[in-house]
């Protein structure tokens, strides 16, 4: 029955600030805007993001609230930190990480990078990855470099 995600919503302080921010990320303004609401296409005709201006932006962040993960490719993810920084957006640095470069979760079969919008909403670019059986039990976060070294080791054996 469920075939995908059509819409999700985030609270913002200012549509005038948030709409251009999300357009820089590649979303397209859906040409529908109310007094305190605007929609941007994530994938035109398939999924969109609703931005809601109001006091709800003061709700403290929690992973179950105010978070969106956008799908990307692994190849694009490899360059995501540079791309974000080119727009003056700093990736989130996880504890134990030296930089905000993408992380790989072999046990989950994905890789991602996190960053915040102007209102502190948590955004993520995420790519699914193929994980060889020998690496599926790794539960620690790996950098892209560490992940690719693990892959080379497995492929050589």
Is 70 exceeded by the pLDDT of residue 2? no
- For the chain, give every domain's residue range: 7-56+64-156
Task: Please tell me the predicted confidence (pLDDT) of residue 13.
Answer: 97
Instruction: Tell me the β-bridge partners of 8.
Output: 49
Please state the pTM of the whole predicted model. 0.90
**CA–CA dist 22, 71 (Å, integer):** 15
The tokens of 44 are what? 């035109």
Q: Kindly report the average pLDDT of the chain as a whole number.
A: 93
- The residues pairing with 70 across neighbouring beta strands, listed in sequence order, are 125
Mean pLDDT of 70-97: 92
Task: Please state, as a whole number, how many other Cβ atoms lie within 10 Å of the Cβ of residue 65.
Answer: 13
What is the pLDDT, as a whole number, of residue 62? Answer: 86
Name, of 34-38, 75-79, 152-156, the range with top average pLDDT: 75-79
Phi, psi of 21 (to 5 degrees): -60, -50
Give the mean model confidence (pLDDT) for residues 128-148: 94
CATH class assigned to 7-56+64-156: alpha beta
């Amino acid at each position: 029955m469920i075939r995908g995600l059509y819409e999700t919503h985030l609270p913002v302080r200012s549509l005038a600030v948030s709409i251009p921010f999300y357009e820089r990320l590649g979303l397209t303004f859906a040409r529908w805007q109310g007094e305190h609401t605007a929609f941007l296409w994530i994938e035109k005709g398939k999924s969109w993001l609703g931005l809601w201006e109001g006091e709800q932006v003061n709700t403290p962040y929690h992973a179950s609230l105010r978070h969106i993960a956008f799908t990307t490719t692994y190849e694009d993810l490899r360059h995501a930190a540079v791309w974000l920084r080119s727009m003056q957006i700093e990736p989130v640095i996880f504890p134990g990480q030296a930089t905000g470069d993408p992380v790989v979760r072999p046990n989950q079969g994905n890789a991602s990078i996190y960053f915040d919008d102007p209102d502190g909403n948590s955004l993520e670019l995420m790519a699914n990855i193929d994980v060889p059986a020998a690496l599926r039990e790794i539960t620690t976060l790996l950098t892209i470099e560490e992940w690719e070294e693990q892959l080379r080791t497995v492929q050589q054996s």
